[in-house]
Structure 1
Amino acid sequence: MNGGWLWWVGGGLLLGIAEMISLDLIFLMLAGGAIAGAVANALGASIPVQIIVAAGVAVVLLFALRPWLLRHLRTRTTLVETNAAALVGRTAVVLAPTTDAGGRVKLAGEVWSARADRAGAVFRPGDEVLVSRIDGATAVVIAEQDAPRM
């Protein structure tokens, strides 16, 4: 018995490690093809047959199993906003007069530079405003009554 199947398994393991880095399920499907090549080798198939089996199984996994897995993962995993995206829609308290040119607000326990969403809007210290978006390191704010109703 030759050790050719070990090369296939080794390749499959390397592809599995690459999958852990990329997390897009492509390398995992290729690793499945490599394991199929190892099985073909263990059954005594010639090298061209092993390559055809590995490529065929990888293609079937890529086009049949991967889309189903991605769809399944996306429906089961809820999206949790993090970092700046998690601050959109939150209430902030104005610390310094805030206009469309600039100002300061306290948002999520931190002091942020801020600006009003529209020209002519002026928010005074103590006013409560809503964050409509984050633009770089600046919170763009609107009056609570101007917030769109859900």
Structure 2
Amino acid sequence: MNDIDAWVWWLVGAAALGIPLVVTAMPEFGMFAVGAVAAATVAGLGGGVVVQVLVFVAVSVALIAVVRPIANRHARRPQLATGIDALKGKQAIVLERVDGSGGGRIKLAGEIWSARSLDTDRAYEVGQEVDVVDIEGATAIIM
């Protein structure tokens, strides 16, 4: 295999690594593709096979070691609360008197829920606006 063939094979490898990058959205494949392009450059400049492989490995590992942690830090997004977790912290309206023993009702997110007071000594009267602090089963804990 001559030098021209080597750089062409490295570019074919880079393109082949780009396919799983697009299909799986795993950036590591892109980092390997960049390593293959670096190895193709070395091959085009007349570097031997051992040097080409070392450049491929060094560039790929360096990118994964440096770029991946930075990308992970910036890609973190707050989790979207769903289900019961989305109801915590919401406001509700008391429909039936609510106290610490339970038995009261509130309107929460357009639905009627049984409710009890977080503070067992506190009662909430009809029409009061309250905050939901937790959900236990089908009962909203309010304050």
The gaps in structure 2 that reach 5 residues or longer are none
Amino acid at match of 1:10: A
Aligned pairs for 1:112-127 (under 5 A) are 112-118=112-118, 120=120, 122-127=123-128
Query: Is 1:111 matched with 2:111?
Result: yes
Structure 2 counterpart of 1:18: 24
* CA deviation after TM superposition for structure 1 residue 39, in Å: 3.5
Computing the radius of gyration from Cα coordinates, the structure with the larger value is 2
SS at match of 2:93: strand
Structure-1-length-normalised TM-score = 0.60
* CA deviation after TM superposition for structure 1 residue 13, in Å: 3.0
Structure 2 counterpart of 1:130: 131
Distance 1:71 1:50, change over 3 A: same
Structure-2-length-normalised TM-score = 0.62
Aligned pairs for 1:1-150 (under 5 A) are 1-2=4-5, 3-4=8-9, 5-19=11-25, 27-41=26-40, 43-44=42-43, 49-73=51-75, 79=78, 82-84=81-83, 85-98=85-98, 100-101=101-102, 103-108=104-109, 110-118=110-118, 120=120, 122-135=123-136, 138=138, 140-143=140-143
Amino acid at match of 2:16: G
Distance 1:43 1:60, change over 3 A: closer
Q: Structure 1 vs Structure 2: percent identity of aligned residues?
A: 26
CA-based RMSD: 3.4
* CA deviation after TM superposition for structure 1 residue 112, in Å: 4.3
What is the aligned residue count?
131
